[in-house]
């Protein structure tokens, strides 16, 4: 047909046409192409994908344009000077050729052009967001993953236009993409939090509240609760998220999926054994139980060692030339994880051989400090310094300052863990030694507070963003958790410094109520808040969908902050005043936090389940296949008519031999799209498939 007589041509983008001529939306709907591929393809490609007559569509569209508008458009078109498509600009809304722009989502790109999967594989981003990719603007997605956005957009458009061949996806790459090892870690962490972890602690606290005493519960229950919180809730969550983000940070494969799975089973078994038999030890004190407890501790050590090996090997496989500062935070945190696992095993062994059921007081406080500030906080700082500037478009933190901060924080954790028990030991034995360790203890507190304040300053969170993402649909509900977590960390550190001054200069031990209040501000106010925030950001992206419920997330935020505030304020108030109402409020605070964790757990669990089911949704959109067309889904065709696979393989689609590729990538591809990936004659393929279907 002669397109010179028409103002809407086959090369125009569907969304652009609807935006300029709203009346055409009804026509696109009539032909079933209104939302095909998100409207980012040309009318010609969209018509082919939906198996409709191009000439008929164009004629109907142009007839819908009012004549005065049509004549004016023709005049405008004739007066235009033909120019080349502009290059990709360094802005979020840049575009090239009117196809993929900075605002185009990854999901739209992959679903409309499956051949681009090879491009994402090249940068280590295959299936970073589930089977179809995340619903995130490609510009933002690239920047978060440290990939040049403009270069990636240009490369994608070159592949789509056929300027360069579409890279193939290797079978081993696809196998890795769909492994999703991290899911079992996240789900198990949630289960532990809702059983032996947070909820268990909440009922202990409630009992203390109605009994009006922090000492109404056997201390061994508090210790086992703390252990499952550190190793189960926080440890498993960090391991799972690390297994997901590390390969994406470095665009490499995870070192060993089998070893990662083994680390999961070892860690879960160790946590279960230690919790169960330490809890029963006061009732049944025998050598068999003691040996099981030590075995559980050793399983945890082996699990953490496996985790550290996988993390190191994964990073080394990237063949990086320089060490980035966020890596120093991450791996120093990972190393502290191993140290606390080994230290815990030795302390438990000493406790059991000494016929005790409780960890010595001189060991429990340094151990908890290393777990919280050495392990968890350093890992969180590593993730924050790598992701938060990218998420918010901020200036990258100064690497030299970050390196200094990392050394300061590590030194403060080590010195505090060593000096605190020695200071207590020499208090009544040797005054000069006491003064030395007292000075070191005080200095470590000052260095810790200073390093944390410097870290927050170096994040540039109060500076104006360098990149403006305002034109993109980016989910920001996680941000309130990050800001609240930072506020809680500052509150906790100020409290820590007050306690340090009191113990160092006044020689007055801080009450258990105040220590518990401080530790709660760190573990729930900061750590759990950060877990909630980053999990609600990362997990939906990893599944390629939106969070199951944002209203539930808002309620989670309110409840966790209310519960944490009541606990931090009313625990010391109740103990130091003896107020019965204060004890009751303290007891209720844990139940409020439990509801928050329950809502969070349900929300994340359903998000993961929604993501795992989204591939099955493709099948639901198809009925019984009676004839094969360009828009026939490959996965649905093979499932209904298995002989079709042999025909497709004979035409060059050899990757269908791999069951992982066959059951995943084909869900998002129709025959018209598939032939573009292998340059196969579509008409001949459809003819052979229909003949096979009839026979």
Q: What is the DSSP string of 89-151?
A: PSSTT-BSTTSSBTTSBHHHHHHH-GGGHHHHHHTT-TTTTSTT--SSBHHHHHHHTT--HHH
Confidence of residue 132 (pLDDT cuts 50, 70, 90): low
Residue whose token pair is 């931090």: 568
Q: How far is Cα 218 from Cα 282, in angstroms, rounded to an integer? A: 10
- Please check whether residues 11 and 69 belong to one and the same domain: yes
Choose among 37, 39, 117, 49: nearest CA to 632: 49
More confident residue, 82 or 662: 662
Confidence of residue 686 (pLDDT cuts 50, 70, 90): confident
CA 99 distance to own-chain centroid: 29
Which long-range contacts (C-beta less than 8 Å, at least 24 apart) are formed by 666-669?
Answer: 666/633, 666/634, 666/635, 666/638, 667/131, 667/615, 667/618, 667/619, 667/633, 667/635, 668/110, 668/111, 668/114, 668/131, 668/132, 668/618, 669/114, 669/633, 669/634, 669/635
Q: What is the pLDDT of residue 542?
A: 73
Q: What is the mean pLDDT of the chain?
A: 81
Residue range 325-354: average pLDDT? 94
Does a structural domain hold residue 230?
no
Q: Extract the tokens encoding 376.
A: 């968890």
Q: How far is Cα 120 from Cα 160, in angstroms, rounded to an integer? A: 13
**Taking a C-beta distance cutoff of 8 angstroms, is the pair 409, 378 a contact?**
yes
Q: Extract the tokens encoding 672.
A: 């018209």
pLDDT digits (tens, 9 = 90+) for 162-171: 777 766 655 5
Which spans in 370-430 are helix H?
378-392, 399-426
Does a structural domain hold residue 64?
yes
Q: Quick one: CA torsion of 602, 605, 606, 609, rounded to 10 degrees?
A: -160
Total domains present in the chain: 3
Phi, psi of 633 (to 5 degrees): -70, 130
pLDDT digits (tens, 9 = 90+) for 449-487: 999 999 999 998 888 887 766 656 667 888 999 999 999
Does a structural domain hold residue 165?
yes
pLDDT digits (tens, 9 = 90+) for 190-236: 999 999 888 899 999 999 999 999 889 999 999 999 999 999 999 99
Q: How far is Cα 87 from Cα 384, in angstroms, rounded to an integer? A: 33
Q: What is the pLDDT of residue 164?
A: 75
Does a structural domain hold residue 364?
no
Show the CA angle centred on residue 490, arms to residues 486 and 492, nearest 5°.
115
Burial class of residue 507, CB neighbours in 10 A (0-12, 13-18, 19+): exposed
Q: Residue 89: is its pLDDT beyond 70?
A: no
Q: Kindly list the distances between the CA atom of residue 120 and the CA atoms of 7, 174, 539, 618, in Å, as whole numbers in the listed order.
A: 36, 12, 19, 22
Q: Residue 583: is its pLDDT beyond 60?
A: yes
Choose among 470, 569, 474, 555: nearest CA to 525: 569
Q: What is the pLDDT of residue 217?
A: 92
Which spans in 194-286 are helix H?
198-211, 219-227, 236-250, 257-280
Q: What is the pLDDT of residue 649?
A: 80
Residue whose token pair is 């078994």: 269
- Please check whether residues 9 and 73 belong to one and the same domain: yes
Among the three residues 175, 204, 224, which one is the final residue of a domain in this structure? Answer: 175
- The residues, ordered by sequence, that sit 6+ positions from 92 with a Cβ below 8 Å of its Cβ are 102, 103, 137, 139, 140, 467, 468, 469, 471, 472
Does a structural domain hold residue 120?
yes
Q: Residue 518: is its pLDDT beyond 90?
A: yes
Does a structural domain hold residue 471?
no
Q: How far is Cα 659 from Cα 403, in angstroms, rounded to an integer? A: 46
Q: What is the pLDDT of residue 617?
A: 47
DSSP 8-class letter at 276: H
Q: Kindly list the distances between the CA atom of residue 470 and the CA atoms of 62, 147, 473, 487, 533, in Å, as whole numbers in the listed order.
A: 35, 20, 8, 25, 20
State the angle between helix axes of 529-543 and 580-613 in degrees (0 to 180), rounded to the nearest 10: 10
Q: How far is Cα 382 from Cα 253, in angstroms, rounded to an integer? A: 20
More confident residue, 144 or 483: 483
More confident residue, 664 or 16: 16
Q: What is the pLDDT of residue 63?
A: 78
Q: How many residues does the chain have?
A: 695
**Taking a C-beta distance cutoff of 8 angstroms, is the pair 656, 645 a contact?**
yes
CB burial of 513-525 (b: ≥16 within 10 Å; e: otherwise) equals: bbbbbbbbbbbbb
CA atoms within 13 Å, Cβ hemisphere of 444: 27
Residue 684 lies in domain: 626-694
Q: How far is Cα 666 from Cα 655, in angstroms, rounded to an integer? A: 10
Phi, psi of 386 (to 5 degrees): -85, -35
- The residues, ordered by sequence, that sit 6+ positions from 284 with a Cβ below 8 Å of its Cβ are none
Q: Extract the tokens encoding 174.
A: 């696809």
Q: Residue 543: is its pLDDT beyond 80?
A: no
Q: Which residues pair with 13 in a beta bridge?
A: 42
- Please check whether residues 8 and 50 belong to one and the same domain: yes
Q: How far is Cα 656 from Cα 654, in angstroms, rounded to an integer? A: 5
Residue range 636-647: average pLDDT? 79
DSSP line for 324-370: -HHHHHHHHHHHHHHHHHHHHHHHHHHHHHTT-SS--HHHHHHHHHI
**CATH number for position 42:** 1.10.3910.10
Q: What is the pLDDT of residue 296?
A: 97
Cα torsion 588, 591, 597, 603: sign: negative
pLDDT digits (tens, 9 = 90+) for 24-75: 777 776 776 644 444 556 677 677 666 677 788 788 888 777 654 444 444 4
Q: How far is Cα 86 from Cα 325, in angstroms, rounded to an integer? A: 37
Cα torsion 237, 239, 242, 243: sign: negative
Q: How far is Cα 141 from Cα 150, in angstroms, rounded to an integer? A: 12
Does a structural domain hold residue 656?
yes
Does a structural domain hold residue 668?
yes
pLDDT digits (tens, 9 = 90+) for 414-423: 999 999 888 8
Share of the chain above pLDDT 70, in %: 79
Q: Extract the tokens encoding 649.
A: 């393989």
- Please check whether residues 635 and 689 belong to one and the same domain: yes
Q: How far is Cα 35 from Cα 15, in angstroms, rounded to an integer? A: 9
Q: Residue 660: is its pLDDT beyond 80?
A: no
Residue whose token pair is 């164009």: 58
Report the 10 Å Cβ neighbour count for 80. Answer: 7
Q: How far is Cα 167 from Cα 164, in angstroms, rounded to an integer? A: 9
Q: How far is Cα 104 from Cα 93, in angstroms, rounded to an integer? A: 9
Q: Extract the tokens encoding 74.
A: 């023709």
Residue range 101-117: average pLDDT? 75
pLDDT digits (tens, 9 = 90+) for 173-187: 544 544 578 889 999
DSSP 8-class letter at 89: P
More confident residue, 624 or 381: 381
CA 142 distance to own-chain centroid: 16
Among the three residues 153, 175, 197, which one is the final residue of a domain in this structure? Answer: 175
**Taking a C-beta distance cutoff of 8 angstroms, is the pair 489, 526 a contact?**
yes
Among the three residues 125, 141, 175, which one is the final residue of a domain in this structure? Answer: 175
């Amino acid at each position: 047909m002669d397109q010179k007589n028409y103002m809407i041509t086959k090369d125009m983008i569907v969304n652009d046409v609807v935006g300029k001529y709203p009346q055409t939306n009804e026509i696109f709907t009539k032909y079933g192409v209104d939302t095909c591929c998100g409207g980012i393809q040309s009318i010609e490609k969209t018509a082919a994908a939906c198996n409709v007559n191009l000439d008929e569509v164009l004629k109907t569209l142009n007839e819908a344009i009012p004549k005065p508008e049509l004549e004016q458009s023709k005049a405008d078109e004739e007066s235009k000077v033909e120019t080349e498509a502009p290059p990709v600009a360094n802005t979020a809304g840049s575009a090239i050729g009117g196809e993929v722009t900075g605002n185009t989502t990854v999901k739209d790109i992959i679903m409309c052009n499956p051949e681009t999967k090879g491009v994402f594989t090249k940068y280590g981003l295959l299936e970073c967001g589930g089977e179809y990719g995340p619903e995130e603007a490609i510009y933002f997605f690239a920047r978060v993953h440290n990939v040049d956005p403009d270069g990636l957009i240009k490369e994608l458009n070159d592949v789509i236009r056929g300027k360069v061949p579409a890279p193939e996806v290797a079978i081993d790459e696809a196998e890795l993409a769909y492994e999703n090892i991290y899911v079992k870690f996240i789900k198990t962490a949630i289960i532990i939090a809702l059983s032996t972890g947070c909820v268990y602690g909440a009922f202990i606290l409630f009992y203390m509240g109605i009994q009006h005493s922090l000492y109404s519960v056997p201390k061994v229950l508090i210790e086992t609760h703390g252990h499952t919180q550190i190793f189960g809730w926080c440890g498993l969550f960090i391991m799972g998220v690390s297994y997901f983000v590390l390969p994406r940070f470095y665009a490499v494969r995870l070192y060993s999926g089998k070893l990662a799975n083994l680390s999961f089973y070892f860690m879960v078994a160790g946590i279960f054994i230690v919790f169960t038999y330490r809890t029963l030890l006061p009732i049944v004190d025998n050598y068999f139980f003691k040996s099981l407890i030590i075995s559980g501790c050793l399983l945890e050590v082996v699990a953490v060692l496996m985790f550290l090996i996988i993390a190191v090997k994964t990073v080394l496989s990237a063949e990086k030339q320089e060490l980035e500062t966020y890596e120093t935070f991450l791996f120093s945190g990972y190393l502290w994880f191993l140290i606390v696992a080994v230290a815990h095993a030795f302390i438990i062994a000493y406790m059991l051989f000494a016929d005790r059921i409780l960890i010595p007081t001189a060991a429990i406080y340094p151990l908890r400090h290393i777990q919280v500030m050495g392990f968890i906080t350093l890992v969180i700082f590593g993730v924050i310094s790598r992701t938060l500037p990218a998420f918010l478009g901020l200036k990258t933190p100064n690497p030299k300052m970050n390196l200094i901060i990392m050394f300061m924080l590590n030194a403060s954790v080590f010195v505090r863990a060593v000096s605190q028990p020695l200071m207590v030991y020499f208090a009544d034995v040797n005054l000069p030694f006491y003064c030395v360790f007292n000075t070191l203890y005080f200095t470590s507190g000052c260095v810790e507070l200073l390093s944390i304040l410097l870290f927050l300053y170096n994040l540039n969170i109060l500076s104006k963003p360098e990149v403006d993402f305002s034109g993109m649909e980016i989910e920001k509900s996680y941000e309130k958790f990050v800001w609240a977590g930072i506020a809680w960390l500052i509150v906790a550190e100020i409290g820590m410094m007050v306690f340090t001054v009191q113990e160092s200069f006044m020689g007055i031990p801080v009450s258990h109520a105040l220590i518990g209040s401080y530790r709660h501000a760190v573990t729930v106010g900061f750590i759990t808040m950060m877990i909630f925030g980053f999990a609600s950001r990362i997990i939906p992206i990893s599944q390629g969908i939106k969070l199951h419920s944002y209203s539930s997330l808002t309620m989670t935020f309110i409840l966790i902050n209310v519960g944490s505030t009541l606990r931090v304020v009313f625990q010391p108030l109740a103990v130091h005043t003896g107020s019965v109402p204060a004890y009751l409020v303290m007891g209720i605070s844990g139940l409020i936090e439990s509801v928050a964790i329950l809502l969070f757990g349900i929300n994340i669990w359903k998000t993961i389940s929604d993501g795992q089911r989204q591939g099955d949704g493709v099948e639901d959109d198809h009925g019984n296949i009676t004839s094969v067309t360009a828009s026939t889904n490959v996965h649905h065709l093979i499932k209904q008519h298995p002989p079709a696979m042999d025909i497709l393989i004979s035409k060059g689609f050899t990757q269908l031999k791999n069951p992982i590729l066959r059951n995943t990538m084909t869900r998002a591809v129709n025959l018209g799209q598939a032939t573009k990936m292998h340059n196969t004659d579509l008409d001949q393929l459809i003819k052979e498939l229909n003949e096979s279907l009839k026979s």
